[in-house]
Structure 1
């Protein structure tokens, strides 16, 4: 048995057979690993310290930049910059909208030109039968001159052969009207001017009621003289804008034969000088209005004539309200008169002062007036712009040409019976002066005046 052996022998054998070398090797490896881990930890700790110092420097830099930014911030300048950017945004949006509209118009024009080209291609170089007959007729210039002369218009040329003067004769009345042709006005303007001069001199008016199955086919006819008895019995309605503080009793006192229709527009212009307005209305020749259907109550061309607006080609001239009106006119015209071509030029005597017959007003359907009223109620345009658009829209609504500027002398004679005045095409002496400011002097015209463009009493005698 083991316990029976000598202890000394057992101890000797144990000492002899005990091997500690593997344990010593294991301890040595552990010690090496601990040393490597310590070195790796020291390196990692050093890297973290370096990164922390770097981040600390970045933090200090950013704090300094933030402090500088906060100190340099100007709220007022930022707000102004935002407003400027918003304005630019709206301007670009408006330009884009206008370009889109113009693109649609040009596309439609292109399609029409393509159709015309196809038609001409079918006709060939010689054209159709009608074209050949026209080519075989008189020279175009001679034919035009013959037409002019048949209408009572003689055209004179200067030494260079340019047409510089037109003489309009009214053989029935024995009148002669000389017009100097200025190249700064368009052919459209002069054609319209000549026509108006003839219609006002001869008592011709347009019958704009469309014939059955047609669209806006116009004829020209001599209107019969209105029956004076029927005219005297006809109702006479007077439409006047007023403000609450205005005294409109002058209508009943001085124009008892008229039915007043006074509407309150406290944000606008009031009824103004009652005595002056009554004087104008009392001179109105109702027979002339009945014959023409529509007559402006202002005969002087300034402002508004010969051309006030160029809707298709706006120009950067005149007061800002005129330029803004011109920019918006084409869009509004398409809204009010859908499907109608926007005129290149618009002109009429200002201020929306006119006389019209019931028949002339009713030439347009009720839906047209409802559409106009709807636009006025819903438009986002400022009042001074929408009002000015209507100012130069009324004569078109009343079926007149876009440029409607009767010669001043013919207008005063035809509308008010003031004949034999000394006039140019645009104005007559001692009839109207455009003041510098619109505010009427106290007591004018009996007293006051002499400044701000207002004439002194007796200026027109």
Structure 2
């Protein structure tokens, strides 16, 4: 269909060019027939040139619009969602995304793909960013906790909040091509409404593994896993307040991207998020370790989810 349309347009250009040429030739010959024809010549030449210019501009306008319509809302063959997702009651689901980004991040893909969603984009290493964090410390956890503290009273309880990393293509995304756009297009909001909290990493590898063994203090801190275990055990009072001992194991799907309802956020007092954020600011453990400690805490009853520490409620969420 596109080829036929293009052929017809090109055919019209050829016909118009031929007619315009004849018109100009007629006026050029007529110019030698007397002064009166010179005036006719000038007028006809101007009309022919103006008409030709208008026709060419119209053709370019048509082709440009046709290309834009075909490309609108699509990237790599993926169509833009035609409507808002539905919640469990069949109504439009209100969605907001909280994004942990850096100055080097490109978040335009979120606006292009999901224009109806609210975006709260934090640039952690930009002190002049519109949305600010107290300090660039604790990786994405500082951004997430700052949003929960500052926007605790925003939105209704059934609003979906998606906590994300900034870049579209990254191995953290639960997609065979690591495409964040496709991951979010498939996200099951009705499942989120039922569970209240879901982890976005549902890939079977590594899946929900045995997690961290908290029954023994590591004798050597030489891996990210041993550093995380030591970080948790060293900070039991803040991470598991009121508990005499931690769970034997804590397990979670990878990568600190999750969805949560506003109602679930409000099940925990704002003060709790303030305490965790202050711990991130004050702790002396390395930045990457404190962020990873929080990665293992989001789904526990001491932070967001009321599930048991071993449960991965987000499995099969997308």
Match of 1:22 in 2: none
Structure with higher Rg: it is: 1
Match of 1:324 in 2: 227
Higher RCO, Cα 8 Å, sep 6+: 2
**Structure 2: how far apart are the matches of 1:261 and 1:365?**
21
Offset at residue 360 of structure 1 (A): 1.0
1:249 maps onto 2:124 in alignment: no
**Structure 2: how far apart are the matches of 1:372 and 1:258?**
28
Is 1:236–1:259's contact at 8 Å kept on the other side of the alignment?
Answer: yes
**Structure 1: how far apart are the matches of 2:283 and 2:258?**
24
Match of 1:401 in 2: 308
Offset at residue 314 of structure 1 (A): 3.6
| Match runs of 1:44-443 below 5 Å | 226-229=88-91, 232=92, 234-266=93-125, 271-273=166-168, 276-300=179-203, 302-303=205-206, 305-314=208-217, 320-340=223-243, 341-396=245-300, 397-398=303-304, 399-405=306-312, 411-412=315-316, 415-416=317-318
**Structure 2: how far apart are the matches of 1:391 and 1:278?**
22
Structure 2 runs not aligned, ≥5 long: 1-86, 126-135, 141-164, 170-177
The DSSP-based 3-state class of the residue aligned with 2:212 is coil
Is 1:302–1:349's contact at 8 Å kept on the other side of the alignment?
Answer: no
The DSSP-based 3-state class of the residue aligned with 2:227 is helix
Please report the RMSD computed on the Cα atoms of aligned residues, expressed in angstroms: 2.6
CA displacement, residues 62-102 of structure 1 (integer Å, 9 cap, x when unaligned): xxxxxxxxxxxxxxxxxxxxxxxxxxxxxxxxxxxxxxxxx
Match of 1:152 in 2: none
Is 1:336–1:368's contact at 8 Å kept on the other side of the alignment?
Answer: no
**Structure 1: how far apart are the matches of 2:207 and 2:231?**
17
Is 1:348–1:405's contact at 8 Å kept on the other side of the alignment?
Answer: yes
CA displacement, residues 183-215 of structure 1 (integer Å, 9 cap, x when unaligned): xxxxxxxxxxxxxxxxxxxxxxxxxxxxxxxxx
Structure having the larger proportion of residues in helix: 1
Offset at residue 300 of structure 1 (A): 2.7
**Structure 1: how far apart are the matches of 2:180 and 2:261?**
19
Say which is worse superposed, 316-325 or 366-375, in terms of deviation. Answer: 316-325
The DSSP-based 3-state class of the residue aligned with 1:348 is coil
Change (3 A) 1:238 1:247: same
Is 1:336–1:371's contact at 8 Å kept on the other side of the alignment?
Answer: no
Is 2:199–2:312's contact at 8 Å kept on the other side of the alignment?
Answer: no
Is 1:311–1:343's contact at 8 Å kept on the other side of the alignment?
Answer: yes
**Structure 1: how far apart are the matches of 2:114 and 2:274?**
30
**Structure 1: how far apart are the matches of 2:186 and 2:221?**
34
Offset at residue 304 of structure 1 (A): 7.0
**Structure 2: how far apart are the matches of 1:251 and 1:318?**
39
Offset at residue 245 of structure 1 (A): 2.1
The DSSP-based 3-state class of the residue aligned with 1:287 is helix
Offset at residue 317 of structure 1 (A): 9.0
CA displacement, residues 276-324 of structure 1 (integer Å, 9 cap, x when unaligned): 1121111111111001111111113544732221223145699612101
Is 1:241–1:271's contact at 8 Å kept on the other side of the alignment?
Answer: yes
Q: Normalising by the residue count of structure 1, what TM-score does the alignment of the two structures yield? A: 0.37
The DSSP-based 3-state class of the residue aligned with 1:239 is strand
Match of 2:155 in 1: none
Match of 1:164 in 2: none
**Structure 2: how far apart are the matches of 1:238 and 1:391?**
18
Is 1:347–1:404's contact at 8 Å kept on the other side of the alignment?
Answer: yes
